[in-house]
Structure 1
Amino acid sequence: MRPRIAVIGRRSASVSGLRFSATVAAEAIGDAVFAAGGEPLILHGGPRERMAELPARLAGFDGVLLPGGSDVHPAHYGQVPGPRTVPDHEEQDALDLAVARAVIALGIPALAVCRGMQVLNTVCGGTLLQDLPDGPVPHLDALHEVTVEPGSRLASVVGTTAFKVSSYHHQAIDRLGEGLRVVARAPDGCAEAVEHTGADVLAVQWHPEDLFDSSGQDAALFRDLTGRAAARRAATRKERPA
Protein backbone atom coordinates (compact mmCIF):
# COMPACT_ATOMS: atom_id res chain seq x y z
CA MET A 1 0.00 0.00 0.00
CA ARG A 2 1.28 3.47 -0.85
CA PRO A 3 2.24 5.62 2.15
CA ARG A 4 -0.41 8.25 2.82
CA ILE A 5 0.97 11.78 2.35
CA ALA A 6 -1.09 14.64 3.74
CA VAL A 7 -0.80 17.55 1.31
CA ILE A 8 -1.91 20.59 3.28
CA GLY A 9 -4.72 22.22 1.32
CA ARG A 10 -4.76 25.84 0.20
CA ARG A 11 -7.86 27.97 0.66
CA SER A 12 -9.27 29.32 -2.60
CA ALA A 13 -12.10 31.82 -2.89
CA SER A 14 -13.41 30.18 -6.05
CA VAL A 15 -12.81 27.16 -8.28
CA SER A 16 -14.28 26.47 -11.69
CA GLY A 17 -17.45 24.41 -11.41
CA LEU A 18 -17.99 25.05 -7.68
CA ARG A 19 -20.42 27.56 -6.18
CA PHE A 20 -18.40 28.01 -3.01
CA SER A 21 -14.84 28.46 -1.80
CA ALA A 22 -12.59 25.41 -1.88
CA THR A 23 -9.60 23.62 -0.38
CA VAL A 24 -7.19 22.78 -3.19
CA ALA A 25 -3.70 21.49 -3.98
CA ALA A 26 -1.51 21.99 -7.02
CA GLU A 27 -1.72 19.11 -9.48
CA ALA A 28 2.07 19.14 -9.85
CA ILE A 29 2.43 18.41 -6.12
CA GLY A 30 0.05 15.48 -6.38
CA ASP A 31 1.76 14.19 -9.52
CA ALA A 32 5.20 14.39 -7.89
CA VAL A 33 4.10 12.55 -4.73
CA PHE A 34 2.27 9.89 -6.76
CA ALA A 35 5.23 9.37 -9.11
CA ALA A 36 7.43 8.87 -6.04
CA GLY A 37 5.18 6.07 -4.78
CA GLY A 38 3.03 8.02 -2.32
CA GLU A 39 -0.73 8.50 -2.04
CA PRO A 40 -1.34 12.29 -1.97
CA LEU A 41 -4.39 13.26 0.09
CA ILE A 42 -5.50 16.86 0.60
CA LEU A 43 -5.92 17.82 4.25
CA HIS A 44 -8.72 20.32 4.89
CA GLY A 45 -8.01 22.66 7.78
CA GLY A 46 -11.51 22.96 9.18
CA PRO A 47 -12.60 25.70 11.60
CA ARG A 48 -9.90 27.28 13.74
CA GLU A 49 -11.69 26.31 16.97
CA ARG A 50 -11.08 22.63 16.02
CA MET A 51 -7.34 23.15 15.41
CA ALA A 52 -6.53 21.33 18.66
CA GLU A 53 -7.54 18.12 16.87
CA LEU A 54 -4.89 18.61 14.18
CA PRO A 55 -2.07 16.54 15.79
CA ALA A 56 -4.37 13.55 16.13
CA ARG A 57 -5.55 13.95 12.55
CA LEU A 58 -1.99 14.19 11.22
CA ALA A 59 -0.95 11.14 13.22
CA GLY A 60 -3.16 9.10 10.88
CA PHE A 61 -0.88 9.93 7.94
CA ASP A 62 2.55 8.55 7.13
CA GLY A 63 4.03 11.82 5.91
CA VAL A 64 3.21 15.49 5.37
CA LEU A 65 3.88 17.90 2.54
CA LEU A 66 3.59 21.59 3.38
CA PRO A 67 3.38 23.37 0.00
CA GLY A 68 3.99 26.88 -1.26
CA GLY A 69 1.54 29.78 -1.22
CA SER A 70 1.27 33.44 -0.33
CA ASP A 71 3.19 35.41 2.30
CA VAL A 72 3.08 34.48 5.98
CA HIS A 73 1.67 37.40 7.95
CA PRO A 74 4.68 39.20 9.50
CA ALA A 75 2.85 39.48 12.83
CA HIS A 76 3.77 35.82 13.36
CA TYR A 77 7.46 36.80 13.50
CA GLY A 78 7.05 40.14 15.25
CA GLN A 79 6.90 42.53 12.28
CA VAL A 80 4.37 44.63 10.38
CA PRO A 81 3.70 44.05 6.67
CA GLY A 82 5.99 45.84 4.24
CA PRO A 83 4.70 47.51 1.05
CA ARG A 84 5.09 44.37 -1.08
CA THR A 85 4.00 41.81 1.52
CA VAL A 86 0.66 40.21 0.70
CA PRO A 87 -0.42 38.11 3.72
CA ASP A 88 -2.37 34.93 3.11
CA HIS A 89 -5.78 34.13 4.59
CA GLU A 90 -5.51 34.19 8.41
CA GLU A 91 -7.06 30.72 8.56
CA GLN A 92 -4.37 29.45 6.19
CA ASP A 93 -1.66 30.87 8.43
CA ALA A 94 -3.25 29.23 11.47
CA LEU A 95 -3.41 25.86 9.70
CA ASP A 96 0.13 25.91 8.29
CA LEU A 97 1.72 27.06 11.53
CA ALA A 98 -0.17 24.39 13.47
CA VAL A 99 0.93 21.72 10.97
CA ALA A 100 4.59 22.73 11.28
CA ARG A 101 4.40 22.59 15.09
CA ALA A 102 2.68 19.19 14.97
CA VAL A 103 5.16 17.50 12.62
CA ILE A 104 8.03 18.70 14.81
CA ALA A 105 6.34 17.51 18.00
CA LEU A 106 5.17 14.16 16.60
CA GLY A 107 8.20 13.33 14.46
CA ILE A 108 6.12 12.87 11.30
CA PRO A 109 8.26 12.79 8.13
CA ALA A 110 7.71 16.06 6.29
CA LEU A 111 8.81 18.04 3.26
CA ALA A 112 8.17 21.80 3.30
CA VAL A 113 8.23 23.78 0.04
CA CYS A 114 8.75 27.54 -0.45
CA ARG A 115 6.16 29.15 1.88
CA GLY A 116 6.30 25.89 3.81
CA MET A 117 9.98 26.50 4.59
CA GLN A 118 9.16 30.03 5.70
CA VAL A 119 6.37 28.69 7.94
CA LEU A 120 8.84 26.22 9.45
CA ASN A 121 11.36 28.97 10.15
CA THR A 122 8.62 31.10 11.72
CA VAL A 123 7.41 28.42 14.17
CA CYS A 124 11.04 27.83 15.17
CA GLY A 125 11.35 31.49 16.19
CA GLY A 126 13.04 32.81 13.06
CA THR A 127 12.20 35.83 10.92
CA LEU A 128 11.85 36.51 7.20
CA LEU A 129 13.18 39.07 4.76
CA GLN A 130 9.88 40.47 3.54
CA ASP A 131 11.16 41.50 0.12
CA LEU A 132 14.45 40.34 -1.35
CA PRO A 133 16.46 43.20 -2.89
CA ASP A 134 17.36 43.06 -6.56
CA GLY A 135 20.64 41.31 -7.15
CA PRO A 136 22.57 39.03 -9.46
CA VAL A 137 20.35 36.00 -8.76
CA PRO A 138 16.68 36.20 -9.84
CA HIS A 139 14.43 34.46 -7.33
CA LEU A 140 10.95 35.30 -8.64
CA ASP A 141 9.82 33.11 -11.55
CA ALA A 142 13.31 32.05 -12.58
CA LEU A 143 15.82 29.21 -12.66
CA HIS A 144 19.03 29.47 -10.66
CA GLU A 145 21.66 27.18 -9.18
CA VAL A 146 21.83 25.93 -5.62
CA THR A 147 24.79 24.41 -3.83
CA VAL A 148 24.19 21.77 -1.15
CA GLU A 149 26.20 21.49 2.07
CA PRO A 150 28.37 18.33 2.05
CA GLY A 151 27.58 15.94 4.87
CA SER A 152 24.00 17.18 5.25
CA ARG A 153 20.96 14.95 5.10
CA LEU A 154 19.94 16.85 1.97
CA ALA A 155 23.26 15.93 0.36
CA SER A 156 22.51 12.25 0.98
CA VAL A 157 19.29 12.74 -1.01
CA VAL A 158 20.33 14.99 -3.93
CA GLY A 159 24.14 14.83 -3.89
CA THR A 160 26.57 17.75 -3.71
CA THR A 161 26.80 18.75 -7.38
CA ALA A 162 25.26 22.19 -7.94
CA PHE A 163 22.00 22.03 -9.88
CA LYS A 164 19.33 24.38 -11.20
CA VAL A 165 16.00 24.81 -9.43
CA SER A 166 12.69 26.47 -10.22
CA SER A 167 12.38 29.52 -7.99
CA TYR A 168 9.26 31.56 -7.29
CA HIS A 169 9.53 33.69 -4.16
CA HIS A 170 10.23 37.26 -3.07
CA GLN A 171 10.75 36.48 0.62
CA ALA A 172 13.42 34.40 2.33
CA ILE A 173 14.86 33.41 5.69
CA ASP A 174 16.47 36.26 7.63
CA ARG A 175 17.15 35.11 11.20
CA LEU A 176 17.33 31.33 11.28
CA GLY A 177 14.94 29.55 13.63
CA GLU A 178 16.07 27.41 16.55
CA GLY A 179 16.86 23.81 15.68
CA LEU A 180 17.29 24.53 11.98
CA ARG A 181 20.41 24.20 9.86
CA VAL A 182 20.90 25.83 6.43
CA VAL A 183 21.97 23.07 4.03
CA ALA A 184 21.78 24.75 0.61
CA ARG A 185 22.30 28.25 -0.73
CA ALA A 186 21.92 30.20 -3.94
CA PRO A 187 25.00 31.95 -5.40
CA ASP A 188 23.96 35.19 -3.66
CA GLY A 189 23.93 33.45 -0.25
CA CYS A 190 20.14 33.15 0.04
CA ALA A 191 19.16 30.15 2.17
CA GLU A 192 17.63 27.60 -0.21
CA ALA A 193 17.14 24.60 2.09
CA VAL A 194 17.06 23.84 5.80
CA GLU A 195 16.75 20.68 7.82
CA HIS A 196 15.56 20.30 11.40
CA THR A 197 18.23 18.94 13.70
CA GLY A 198 15.72 17.10 15.90
CA ALA A 199 12.64 16.39 13.79
CA ASP A 200 12.19 14.49 10.53
CA VAL A 201 11.66 17.66 8.48
CA LEU A 202 13.42 18.80 5.31
CA ALA A 203 12.53 22.13 3.67
CA VAL A 204 13.45 23.74 0.36
CA GLN A 205 12.84 27.29 -0.81
CA TRP A 206 12.42 26.31 -4.46
CA HIS A 207 9.55 24.40 -6.10
CA PRO A 208 10.70 20.81 -6.76
CA GLU A 209 7.27 19.90 -8.14
CA ASP A 210 7.93 22.12 -11.18
CA LEU A 211 10.78 19.97 -12.53
CA PHE A 212 10.35 16.61 -10.78
CA ASP A 213 9.88 14.80 -14.11
CA SER A 214 13.12 16.17 -15.60
CA SER A 215 15.35 16.87 -12.58
CA GLY A 216 16.80 13.87 -10.78
CA GLN A 217 17.45 15.95 -7.67
CA ASP A 218 13.87 17.23 -7.47
CA ALA A 219 12.42 13.76 -8.03
CA ALA A 220 14.72 12.45 -5.29
CA LEU A 221 13.18 14.87 -2.77
CA PHE A 222 9.77 13.29 -3.26
CA ARG A 223 11.16 9.75 -3.20
CA ASP A 224 12.90 10.65 0.05
CA LEU A 225 9.64 11.86 1.56
CA THR A 226 7.70 8.77 0.53
CA GLY A 227 10.58 6.55 1.67
CA ARG A 228 10.62 8.13 5.11
CA ALA A 229 6.81 7.90 5.22
CA ALA A 230 6.89 4.20 4.26
CA ALA A 231 9.39 3.52 7.03
CA ARG A 232 7.13 5.28 9.54
CA ARG A 233 4.15 3.26 8.29
CA ALA A 234 6.05 0.00 8.70
CA ALA A 235 7.25 0.92 12.18
CA THR A 236 3.76 1.99 13.27
CA ARG A 237 2.21 -1.27 12.03
CA LYS A 238 4.87 -3.27 13.89
CA GLU A 239 4.10 -1.43 17.12
CA ARG A 240 0.38 -2.15 16.96
CA PRO A 241 -0.74 -5.12 19.08
CA ALA A 242 -1.88 -8.17 17.16
Structure 2
Amino acid sequence: MTPVVRIEEVTPARPLPEHPVAHVAVLVSLNFPGLDEQVAGLVRRFTRVALETLVRLGASYTLLDTSTPLPDPEAAARFDGLLLLGGGDIDGGCYGSSLIDVPHSYGVDARADRDALRAIAATEKAGRPILGICRGSQLLNVHRGGTIIPDIEEFTLHRGGEGRPVFLDEKIRLVPSTRLHGIMGVDSLVGRSGHHQAVDKLGSGLVLAAVAQDGIVEGIEDPERWLIGVQWHPEDDDGPEADRLRLFGGFVEACATG
Protein backbone atom coordinates (compact mmCIF):
# COMPACT_ATOMS: atom_id res chain seq x y z
CA MET A 1 0.00 0.00 0.00
CA THR A 2 1.47 3.33 -1.08
CA PRO A 3 1.42 5.73 1.91
CA VAL A 4 -1.02 8.62 1.61
CA VAL A 5 -0.13 10.15 4.98
CA ARG A 6 3.57 10.51 5.75
CA ILE A 7 5.17 10.88 9.19
CA GLU A 8 6.68 14.26 8.34
CA GLU A 9 3.15 15.57 7.70
CA VAL A 10 2.08 14.89 11.29
CA THR A 11 5.29 15.88 13.08
CA PRO A 12 4.82 18.99 15.27
CA ALA A 13 6.80 22.13 14.46
CA ARG A 14 7.45 22.59 18.19
CA PRO A 15 10.63 20.74 19.26
CA LEU A 16 10.43 17.93 21.78
CA PRO A 17 11.08 19.08 25.37
CA GLU A 18 14.68 18.75 26.49
CA HIS A 19 13.56 17.28 29.82
CA PRO A 20 10.16 15.67 29.20
CA VAL A 21 7.85 14.99 32.11
CA ALA A 22 6.86 11.71 30.44
CA HIS A 23 7.56 9.72 27.29
CA VAL A 24 4.37 8.46 25.65
CA ALA A 25 3.75 5.78 23.02
CA VAL A 26 1.23 7.06 20.45
CA LEU A 27 -0.39 4.28 18.42
CA VAL A 28 -2.18 5.07 15.15
CA SER A 29 -2.51 3.76 11.62
CA LEU A 30 -1.55 6.73 9.48
CA ASN A 31 -2.68 4.73 6.46
CA PHE A 32 -5.36 2.06 6.22
CA PRO A 33 -7.34 0.31 3.45
CA GLY A 34 -9.59 2.59 1.42
CA LEU A 35 -8.06 5.81 2.75
CA ASP A 36 -9.05 8.71 0.48
CA GLU A 37 -7.67 12.22 0.46
CA GLN A 38 -10.55 13.68 2.46
CA VAL A 39 -10.06 11.25 5.35
CA ALA A 40 -6.28 11.49 4.97
CA GLY A 41 -6.59 15.21 5.66
CA LEU A 42 -8.34 14.43 8.94
CA VAL A 43 -5.71 11.85 9.88
CA ARG A 44 -2.95 14.39 9.26
CA ARG A 45 -4.63 17.15 11.23
CA PHE A 46 -5.86 15.08 14.17
CA THR A 47 -2.55 13.23 14.59
CA ARG A 48 -0.53 16.44 14.38
CA VAL A 49 -2.75 18.20 16.92
CA ALA A 50 -2.52 15.23 19.32
CA LEU A 51 1.28 15.19 19.10
CA GLU A 52 1.51 18.98 19.38
CA THR A 53 -0.64 18.86 22.52
CA LEU A 54 1.56 16.25 24.17
CA VAL A 55 4.67 18.32 23.44
CA ARG A 56 2.98 21.51 24.65
CA LEU A 57 2.23 19.75 27.94
CA GLY A 58 5.88 18.81 28.37
CA ALA A 59 5.78 15.20 27.14
CA SER A 60 7.81 13.52 24.43
CA TYR A 61 6.46 10.70 22.29
CA THR A 62 7.28 7.79 20.01
CA LEU A 63 4.86 7.16 17.15
CA LEU A 64 3.85 3.51 16.68
CA ASP A 65 2.38 3.40 13.17
CA THR A 66 0.38 0.21 12.65
CA SER A 67 0.06 0.89 8.92
CA THR A 68 2.79 -1.74 8.74
CA PRO A 69 3.41 -4.56 11.23
CA LEU A 70 4.96 -3.44 14.50
CA PRO A 71 8.22 -5.33 15.13
CA ASP A 72 7.27 -5.73 18.80
CA PRO A 73 3.81 -4.50 19.85
CA GLU A 74 4.57 -5.34 23.50
CA ALA A 75 7.28 -2.66 23.45
CA ALA A 76 4.49 -0.15 24.11
CA ALA A 77 4.71 -1.19 27.76
CA ARG A 78 8.19 0.33 28.06
CA PHE A 79 6.80 3.87 27.80
CA ASP A 80 5.17 5.95 30.51
CA GLY A 81 1.74 5.66 28.90
CA LEU A 82 -0.15 4.74 25.73
CA LEU A 83 -2.28 7.06 23.62
CA LEU A 84 -4.54 5.34 21.07
CA LEU A 85 -5.76 7.57 18.23
CA GLY A 86 -8.67 7.14 15.82
CA GLY A 87 -8.81 5.47 12.43
CA GLY A 88 -10.65 2.73 10.58
CA ASP A 89 -13.21 0.24 11.88
CA ILE A 90 -12.16 -2.71 14.03
CA ASP A 91 -12.47 -6.10 12.36
CA GLY A 92 -15.68 -7.71 13.63
CA GLY A 93 -13.86 -10.96 14.31
CA CYS A 94 -12.03 -9.24 17.16
CA TYR A 95 -15.28 -9.00 19.14
CA GLY A 96 -17.20 -11.99 17.85
CA SER A 97 -19.30 -10.32 15.17
CA SER A 98 -20.19 -12.45 12.16
CA LEU A 99 -21.62 -9.58 10.11
CA ILE A 100 -20.03 -9.27 6.67
CA ASP A 101 -21.81 -6.38 4.94
CA VAL A 102 -21.69 -3.63 7.55
CA PRO A 103 -23.09 -0.30 6.29
CA HIS A 104 -20.54 2.53 6.09
CA SER A 105 -17.69 0.16 7.03
CA TYR A 106 -14.23 1.49 6.18
CA GLY A 107 -10.56 1.00 6.86
CA VAL A 108 -10.72 -2.51 8.32
CA ASP A 109 -7.25 -3.96 8.92
CA ALA A 110 -7.32 -7.08 11.11
CA ARG A 111 -3.53 -7.24 11.36
CA ALA A 112 -3.35 -3.65 12.67
CA ASP A 113 -6.09 -4.53 15.16
CA ARG A 114 -4.09 -7.47 16.47
CA ASP A 115 -0.97 -5.32 16.85
CA ALA A 116 -2.97 -2.66 18.71
CA LEU A 117 -4.60 -5.18 21.04
CA ARG A 118 -1.21 -6.71 21.87
CA ALA A 119 0.15 -3.25 22.67
CA ILE A 120 -2.83 -2.52 24.92
CA ALA A 121 -2.51 -5.83 26.77
CA ALA A 122 1.20 -5.29 27.45
CA THR A 123 0.69 -1.68 28.56
CA GLU A 124 -2.13 -2.62 30.88
CA LYS A 125 -0.09 -5.47 32.37
CA ALA A 126 2.71 -2.98 33.06
CA GLY A 127 0.27 -0.71 34.91
CA ARG A 128 0.74 2.27 32.59
CA PRO A 129 -2.00 4.88 31.91
CA ILE A 130 -3.95 4.47 28.66
CA LEU A 131 -6.08 7.03 26.82
CA GLY A 132 -8.10 5.91 23.79
CA ILE A 133 -9.82 8.22 21.30
CA CYS A 134 -12.63 7.04 18.98
CA ARG A 135 -11.24 3.80 17.48
CA GLY A 136 -8.85 3.79 20.43
CA SER A 137 -11.72 3.77 22.90
CA GLN A 138 -13.38 0.94 21.00
CA LEU A 139 -10.13 -1.04 21.03
CA LEU A 140 -9.95 -0.69 24.81
CA ASN A 141 -13.47 -2.07 25.09
CA VAL A 142 -12.73 -4.97 22.74
CA HIS A 143 -9.54 -5.74 24.65
CA ARG A 144 -11.66 -6.15 27.79
CA GLY A 145 -14.09 -8.50 26.00
CA GLY A 146 -16.73 -5.89 25.11
CA THR A 147 -18.56 -5.45 21.81
CA ILE A 148 -19.13 -2.71 19.24
CA ILE A 149 -22.29 -1.43 17.53
CA PRO A 150 -21.41 -2.20 13.87
CA ASP A 151 -23.40 0.74 12.49
CA ILE A 152 -25.50 3.34 14.32
CA GLU A 153 -28.79 3.51 12.45
CA GLU A 154 -30.01 6.80 13.95
CA PHE A 155 -26.73 8.63 13.35
CA THR A 156 -27.69 12.30 13.13
CA LEU A 157 -26.28 13.16 16.58
CA HIS A 158 -22.96 11.46 15.80
CA ARG A 159 -21.96 12.30 12.22
CA GLY A 160 -23.04 14.27 9.20
CA GLY A 161 -25.22 12.69 6.53
CA GLU A 162 -24.70 12.46 2.79
CA GLY A 163 -23.55 15.74 1.27
CA ARG A 164 -22.66 17.22 4.65
CA PRO A 165 -19.38 17.45 6.58
CA VAL A 166 -18.68 14.20 8.43
CA PHE A 167 -17.81 15.91 11.71
CA LEU A 168 -20.28 17.83 13.83
CA ASP A 169 -20.66 19.20 17.36
CA GLU A 170 -22.24 16.70 19.72
CA LYS A 171 -23.61 17.32 23.21
CA ILE A 172 -22.20 14.78 25.66
CA ARG A 173 -23.09 14.19 29.32
CA LEU A 174 -20.33 13.12 31.71
CA VAL A 175 -21.19 10.63 34.43
CA PRO A 176 -20.72 12.13 37.93
CA SER A 177 -17.99 10.75 40.19
CA THR A 178 -16.05 9.19 37.28
CA ARG A 179 -12.38 9.98 36.68
CA LEU A 180 -13.33 11.58 33.35
CA HIS A 181 -15.83 13.85 35.06
CA GLY A 182 -13.20 14.92 37.57
CA ILE A 183 -10.65 15.69 34.87
CA MET A 184 -13.01 17.70 32.70
CA GLY A 185 -14.62 19.51 35.64
CA VAL A 186 -18.03 19.85 33.98
CA ASP A 187 -21.27 17.86 33.81
CA SER A 188 -21.54 18.14 30.03
CA LEU A 189 -19.53 19.30 27.04
CA VAL A 190 -19.68 19.65 23.28
CA GLY A 191 -17.34 17.28 21.47
CA ARG A 192 -16.43 16.84 17.82
CA SER A 193 -17.87 13.59 16.50
CA GLY A 194 -17.92 11.75 13.18
CA HIS A 195 -18.49 8.10 14.05
CA HIS A 196 -20.79 5.38 12.72
CA GLN A 197 -19.79 2.82 15.36
CA ALA A 198 -19.66 2.93 19.16
CA VAL A 199 -19.16 0.81 22.24
CA ASP A 200 -22.06 -1.57 22.84
CA LYS A 201 -21.62 -4.11 25.64
CA LEU A 202 -19.04 -2.83 28.13
CA GLY A 203 -15.92 -4.91 28.60
CA SER A 204 -14.92 -6.47 31.91
CA GLY A 205 -14.14 -3.94 34.64
CA LEU A 206 -15.23 -0.93 32.57
CA VAL A 207 -17.92 1.58 33.49
CA LEU A 208 -19.84 4.21 31.58
CA ALA A 209 -18.12 7.60 31.81
CA ALA A 210 -19.92 9.67 29.16
CA VAL A 211 -23.13 9.29 27.18
CA ALA A 212 -24.80 10.94 24.18
CA GLN A 213 -28.29 12.41 24.21
CA ASP A 214 -29.63 9.23 22.60
CA GLY A 215 -27.91 6.90 25.07
CA ILE A 216 -24.97 5.93 22.87
CA VAL A 217 -21.78 5.34 24.88
CA GLU A 218 -19.36 8.27 24.48
CA GLY A 219 -16.87 7.47 27.23
CA ILE A 220 -15.64 4.48 29.21
CA GLU A 221 -13.14 3.99 32.01
CA ASP A 222 -11.78 1.56 34.55
CA PRO A 223 -12.48 2.95 38.04
CA GLU A 224 -9.58 0.93 39.47
CA ARG A 225 -6.80 2.30 37.23
CA TRP A 226 -6.03 5.11 34.76
CA LEU A 227 -7.71 3.80 31.62
CA ILE A 228 -10.09 6.13 29.77
CA GLY A 229 -11.69 5.97 26.34
CA VAL A 230 -13.65 8.77 24.67
CA GLN A 231 -15.63 8.37 21.46
CA TRP A 232 -15.43 12.02 20.42
CA HIS A 233 -12.32 13.74 19.06
CA PRO A 234 -10.71 16.18 21.52
CA GLU A 235 -7.77 16.41 19.08
CA ASP A 236 -9.99 18.04 16.45
CA ASP A 237 -8.81 21.64 16.64
CA ASP A 238 -12.22 22.79 15.39
CA GLY A 239 -13.35 21.90 18.93
CA PRO A 240 -12.63 23.52 22.31
CA GLU A 241 -8.92 23.83 23.06
CA ALA A 242 -9.56 24.03 26.81
CA ASP A 243 -11.28 20.62 26.84
CA ARG A 244 -8.41 19.08 24.86
CA LEU A 245 -5.85 20.48 27.29
CA ARG A 246 -7.80 19.20 30.30
CA LEU A 247 -8.08 15.65 28.98
CA PHE A 248 -4.55 15.42 27.59
CA GLY A 249 -3.27 17.19 30.70
CA GLY A 250 -4.85 14.59 32.96
CA PHE A 251 -3.31 11.83 30.87
CA VAL A 252 0.19 13.38 30.82
CA GLU A 253 0.03 13.98 34.57
CA ALA A 254 -0.85 10.33 35.13
CA CYS A 255 2.02 9.25 32.87
CA ALA A 256 4.42 11.56 34.71
CA THR A 257 3.49 10.37 38.18
CA GLY A 258 3.37 6.67 37.29
Indicate the TM-score class for this superposition, using the shorter chain for normalisation: 0.7 to 0.9
Secondary structure, counterpart of 2:225 in structure 1: coil
State which of 64, 69, 84 in structure 1 corresponds to 2:82: 64
Cα separation, 2, equivalents of 1:72 and 1:178? 18
* C-alpha contact (below 8 Å) 1:136/1:188 kept by paired residues: no
**Aligned match for 2:170, one of 144, 147, 152:** 144
CA distance in 1, matches of 2:194, 2:53: 18
**Structure 2 residue aligned with 1:4, among 23, 26, 39?**
23
Give 2:227's aligned residue.
Answer: 201
Distance in structure 2 (CA, Å) of the matches to 1:190 and 1:30 = 28
Contact 2:171 2:189 in 1 (8 A): yes
For 1:62 and 1:39, how far apart are their aligned partners in 2? 10
Are the aligned partners of 1:11 and 1:89 in contact in 2 as well (CA < 8 Å)?
A: no
Residue 153 of structure 2: which of 133, 138, 150 is its match? 133
CA shift, 1:139, in A, is 3.3
SS at match of 1:93: helix
Q: What is residue 63 of structure 2 aligned with on the other side?
A: 42
Residue by residue over 1:169-206, the C-alpha shift from the partner in whole angstroms, topping out at 9 and shown as x without a partner, is 11011111111111111111111111123332111001
Aligned CA-pair RMSD = 2.4
Change (3 A) 1:75 1:193: same
- 1:229 maps to which residue? 255
Identity %: 29
Query: Which residue of 117, 122, 134 maps to 2:137?
Result: 117
TM-score by length of 1: 0.82
TM-score by length of 2: 0.77
1:83 equivalent in alignment to 2:83: no
Give the drift of 1:84. Answer: 2.7
Structure 1, residues 73-102: CA drift from partner, whole Å, max 9, x if none? Answer: 001111123233235222211111112222
What one-letter code is carried by the residue in structure 1 that aligns with 2:26? Answer: V
CA 61–10 in structure 1, closer or farther in 2 if over 3 Å, else same: same
Secondary structure in 2 matching 1:26: helix
What does the per-residue CA deviation read over 1:156-179, in whole Å, with 9 as the maximum and x for residues that have no partner?
100133111011211011111111
Point out the more displaced range, 24-33 or 187-196: 24-33
Structure 1 stretch displaced more, 193-202 or 210-219: 210-219
- In structure 1, how many angstroms separate the alpha carbons of the residues matched to 2:158 and 2:150? 16
Match of 1:21 in 2: none
Q: How many residues end up aligned between the 2 structures?
A: 220
| Cα distance in 2 between the residues matched to 1:205 and 1:228 | 20
Q: Match for residue 191 of structure 1?
A: 217
1:96 counterpart residue number: 116
Partner-residue secondary structure (3-state), 2:125: helix
Q: Does structure 2 retain, via aligned residues, the 8 Å contact 1:71–1:86?
A: yes
**Secondary structure at the residue paired with 1:59?**
helix
CA spacing shift, 1:93–1:31, aligned 2, 3 Å: same
CA distance 1:163–1:9, change in 2 (3 Å):
closer
Consecutive unaligned residues in structure 2, runs of 5 or more: 1-18, 36-43, 161-166
Q: Is the 8 A contact 1:148 1:159 kept in 2?
A: no
**For the residues of structure 1 that align with 2:129 and 2:219, how far apart are their CA atoms?**
16
Unaligned runs of 5+ in 1: 16-23, 233-242
Aligned counterparts of 1:61 and 1:197: Cα–Cα separation in 2: 22
**Contact 1:213 1:219 survives alignment (8 Å):** no
Deviation of 1:105 after TM superposition, in Å, equals 1.6
Query: Does structure 1 residue 220 correspond to structure 2 residue 246?
Result: yes
